[in-house]
Chain A
Amino acid sequence: MIKLNDLKISYRIGNRVIEAVNGVTLTIPDGSIVGIAGESGCGKSTLMKAIYGDIQSPMSLSGGSIEYGMKGADGLPVTTQTIRREWFKSISYIPQSSMNSLNPVIRIRDQFTDFPGTDSNKKRVLERARAYIGKLGLPAEAMESYPHQLSGGMRQRVMIALATFFQPELIIADEPTTALDVVVQKEILLLLMEVQELMGNTILVVSHDMGVHYQVTHKMLIMYAGRVVEYGDTESVFADPQHPYTKMLIDSLPTIGDDSMRGVLASMAGAGGDRAYRVEPELIEVKPGHFMARPSQIVGAAA
């Protein structure tokens, strides 16, 4: 279980400080797929980086804390300071650009063994990896290949194989299917769900694609302006969105045969056009397991 306590992440640019994540309090249950949505600049990628523990200048943790609820090799609870030691052991990462996240001049095989991982015996790792990629629908020869010899879908399978090979407790996937065509997207998402069901790890998926969230995730987190506007079970969020911003996001999904939106800007429909929300950090529980930012504080036309 991961707990974020009033988490604040800021960027220092010259003398300005920008609070990209501005007070997020959340509990992510173990073994669930949590989707994170929101417009560009809403802080979702910063939140992911912070949870992954990749906090580097000019980014800094300016307030709050993250509890990972897992123990490191030394038996102490993992914190933001020690999470780096868990990279690709109990926490892993699937990058956005699978096309160029693999070193073009090194064989896939060697990219399975050039980091510490959980096992220092490279031969054993390779043997197990060879068997493992077969389960993910990759031919054994893929291990001996160079990245440019694999298709986009195969490369993303390699990324998933790398991220799940050591059976981590937490996987962070940053727009894992953005660069792929829809058919391959579906295959990759199904694969991710399959692996998750098998291993029972927690996956955080960042995506702009509400369709992806609807298909894959158990829980949805909607962010806006560095804060959470809504968080709840995916079914409930899609069926009964509470916050006008969430409604707009869901309305942005085109429906076959529905022409009512034709000629109308999506952001103008539903919420009345003014998107300058003020979002309060406190969440209220609307229904069991379904939270939203306090509505009375919303400035602008509410739906």
Chain B
Amino acid sequence: MAAQSRAAHPPGRFSRLTLRQRFYIVAILLLLPAVALRVFTAFYPFLQTAYLSLHKYNPAFDHNGPVFVGLNNFARIGSDPVVQASIGFTILFVVGATFFQLTLGLAVAHLLNAAFRLRYLARALVLIPWAIPMAVAALGFRWMFDDQFGIIPDLLRTIFGVQARWLIDPNNSKLAVVSVAVWKSTPFVALVLLAGLQGIGRDLYEAARVDGANAWTCLFYITIPMLMPILITTGMFMIVWQLAVFDLPFLMTGGGPGFSTTVIAQKIYLESNSLNYGYAASISMVLVGIVALVGVVGLYLFRRFDVSA
């Protein structure tokens, strides 16, 4: 039933038995490269991670190899003060950033799709944040947000009279890091949505205008429903991807002040770097669990809206 609903065409198109077998073969051949790549680089390592997550293993100390400890590692996560301290910001970072990336991304996509003279310039400009390496963006923004040397506090002070400390303030630092994440990845979302916008037939809008619809009605009754599958796909991807991001906060604030910009992925990074492979694997498995949940919810929504679209 799900397969039926995903296909936008009437079922039974390929129902002739003679063809069906040929289609299976074609499907297998088409899927083979992608599946082979994923098996080689993701499924096998995944099994290894799942195995390690049930073991205590640090090659620097456990010289006799991994020791089976059952769910001990998972119990430890629950009581780990660093993990506890980072859950709040992880959610804020992932959900907050994704929300603004999608909404601003849709706005930017409209700008890029608008018929105006500088459209091509805008389309080239938009990729700049996405094209800047994360390490450079993080370090650059650390300088730009610096309360002594930075241009952002300086501009906010001179233009808007905002007197605030940024990266050393436990709350403002969160805002700063999320803003940079939004700045960095909105172009990516905008570009995907732009391709989606271009796929919507003009006749739909023309028909709507004839019926007296204004821009807002068009947005809410044509654009957003038509884009829903892509919005869900992209939103889901941004959530999943940003759950594993640690380089931006880590390089911009070191996860500080205190733990205010520490994300869980940073914990995995530091634990793996300290060779605590067992514990790092168990935190990864929790992350995988969360992602799987997001993925299932996302796919459910995707199927629903895909039918209605």
A binds B: no
Interface residues of A (CB under 8 A from B): none
